[in-house]
Amino acid sequence: MEKVILIKYGELSTKKDNINFFLKKLKENILFVLNDIDVEVTYDLGRMFIHTKENFSKVVDRVKNVFGIHEMNIGYIIDSTDFEKIKIEILSLLKDQEFSTFKVESKRANKTLNTTSVELSRNLGAYLLKNISGLRVDVNNPEVLVNVEYRLKNTLVYFESIKCLGGYPVGTLGKGMLMLSGGIDSPVAGFLTIKRGVKIEAIYFESPPHTSREAKDKVISLAKKLAIYNNDIILHVINFTEIQEAIYKNIPHDYLITIMRRMMYRISAILASKRKAKILINGESIGQVASQTLTSMSAINEVVSIPVIRPLACFDKLDIIDIAKSIDTYETSILPYEDCCTIFVPKHPVINPSKEKCHEYEELIPYKDLIYEAIKTHEVIKITAKEDNNEFKDLL
């Protein structure tokens, strides 16, 4: 009998012909987060197994953030399909534990066992009652839930389940470019997109000296939080100062935000294409601010042909905040550093911008040259989720 970590796939198991592609990637992603731990990962179409002699809770702690896993269990592989032997092994696992109520649940993939799952549960339950004194069955609220999976070549048993994040393994659905600001919304939008298997790179627009080093560091910290789910992340930092100043000086102020966002979209789309990202992702939510009315979104969106995914389009702010707290980005997002949008924000931004006016105003600035320059000079930062490894620092 071997103690292992068991992985249940959830939605992944609905994949038919290409399930192996998803499972291979899931294994790769698990090994990525465990790359400094001695483990072996094996799998079949029903389950994945992590074999290790190291601390299980350390492994579980890392793996629980890997998308594509529905549930994890710390359990045992019993190398037998003989019911009598299985009963003895399960008894040996339970007889020294302190508990008084239990329930057995059985799954039977091995149809050669000539009986039903209910019968197997009953039979094992009766055996445990007979061999451990003071025990009682409680089907509603048992202290110990004995899960047994009777498989073709072996048997799995586990007592505890750890609910995981679900979704698809990152990298199975291609790449996307996340417009990442220092706000609450865009990290959440990024998280939800990674969850669908999309590997993201991020783009951040800064306007020094109007925006500070702290504002940029805040975005780097947010990217680091997302890197946990994304297997590292590449952050593109665009210097937006000249473009923003040109807009501010030359364009009627009620259109500042609309034009500014059209420029951001254009730059993001060019970079996405250079980096082979198939979608743009942002944190827009219908109605949240003037630039997120349907007319605004349409006026802004018209400058790109790449699909723009807005995972939060229909979310209430309070629900977005709940997710931000659960992924630990909220406290960073509310740090009070100025964003490039907030500095140049007009008193009365247009709520229903006209596309014709956008075209007319944009002719007032040499925006193509400015965009070209901003992309040419942009900074690329590779951000990893892991703590910096200072082990060899003294030797350098």
- Could you list the residues that contact Mg ion (CB under 5 A)? 185, 283
> Does 277 help bind ligand ATP (rule: CB under 6 A)?
no
For residue 191, the SS3 value is helix
Distance CA 204, CA 189 (A): 14
Draw the binding track, 107-126, toward ligand ATP (x: CB under 6 A; -: no contact).
--------------------
Binding mask 142-181 for ligand ATP (x = CB under 6 A): -------------------------------------xxx
Amino acid at 241: T
In the complex, the smallest distance separating the C-beta of residue 344 from ligand ATP, rounded to whole angstroms, is: 11
Single residue of 204, 229, 344, 361 touching ligand ATP by CB under 6 A: 204
List 127, 205, 265, 315, residue binding ligand ATP (CB under 6 A): 205
Q: Which two tokens stand for residue 18?
A: 């290409």
| Burial classification of residue 44, based on how many CB atoms lie within 10 Å of its CB (0-12 exposed, 13-18 middle, 19 or more buried) | exposed
Looking at the Cβ atoms of 185 and 362, the one nearer to Mg ion is: 185
Q: Judge if the upstream peptide bond of residue 209 is cis by omega within 30 degrees of 0.
A: yes
Q: Does residue number 284 form part of the binding site for ligand ATP (CB under 6 A)?
A: yes
Distance separating alpha carbons of residues 339 and 146, to the nearest angstrom: 53
Q: Is 358 in the site for ligand ATP (CB under 6 A)?
A: no
Beta bridge partners of residue 48, listed in sequence order: 7, 43
Q: Does 289 interact with ligand ATP (rule: CB under 6 A)?
A: yes
Binding partner of residue 282 among ligand ATP, Mg ion, none, CB cut-off 5 to 8 Å per kind:
ligand ATP
> Could you say which of ligand ATP, Mg ion, none residue 340 binds, taking C-beta under 5 to 8 angstroms by partner kind?
ligand ATP
Asked if residues 169 and 208 have their Cβ atoms less than 8 Å apart, the reply is no
179 binds, among Mg ion, ligand ATP, none (CB under 5 to 8 A by kind): ligand ATP
* Cα separation values, 90 from 50, 131, 151, 279, 321, Å: 20, 11, 15, 50, 44
Question: CA–CA separation, 309 vs 103, rounded Å?
Answer: 45
Please tell me the distance from the alpha carbon of residue 205 to that of residue 67, in angstroms, as a whole number.
28
Q: Which residue lies nearer to ligand ATP by CB, 73 or 181? A: 181
Amino acid at 202: A
Q: Which is nearer to Mg ion, 120 or 341 (CB)?
A: 341
Helices (H), 132-255: 185-195, 213-230, 241-250
Residues 301-340 that bind ligand ATP (CB under 6 A): 339-340
The Cα-based distances of 352 to 252, 301, 360 in angstroms read: 15, 14, 16
Q: How far is the CB of 59 from ligand ATP (least distance, A)?
A: 34
Q: Select 142 or 283, whichever has its Cβ closest to ligand ATP.
A: 283
Binding-site member from 263, 341, 365, 383 for ligand ATP (CB under 6 A): 341
Q: With respect to Mg ion, which residue has the nearer C-beta, 188 or 269?
A: 188
> How distant, in Å, are the alpha carbons of 333, 337, 373 from that of 216?
12, 9, 20
3-state secondary structure of 201: strand
Selected range binding ligand ATP among 73-81, 140-148, 182-190, 247-255, rule: CB under 6 A: 182-190
CA 229 to chain centre: 5
The nearer residue to ligand ATP, 3 or 382, going by C-beta atoms, is: 382
From the list 39-47, 226-234, 278-286, 300-308, the region that binds ligand ATP by CB under 6 A is 278-286
Phi-psi category of residue 346: left, alpha or beta, with phi > 0 → left and psi -120 to 50 → alpha: beta
User: Residue 201 interacts with ligand ATP (CB under 6 A)?
Assistant: no
Q: Which does 358 bind (CB under 5 to 8 A by kind): Mg ion, ligand ATP, none?
A: none
Query: Among residues 159, 7, 3, which one has the least CA distance to residue 77?
Result: 3
Of 52-60, 78-86, 142-150, 280-288, which segment contacts ligand ATP by CB under 6 A?
280-288
Q: Which residues bind ligand ATP (CB under 6 A)?
A: 179-181, 183-186, 203-205, 282-284, 288-289, 339-341
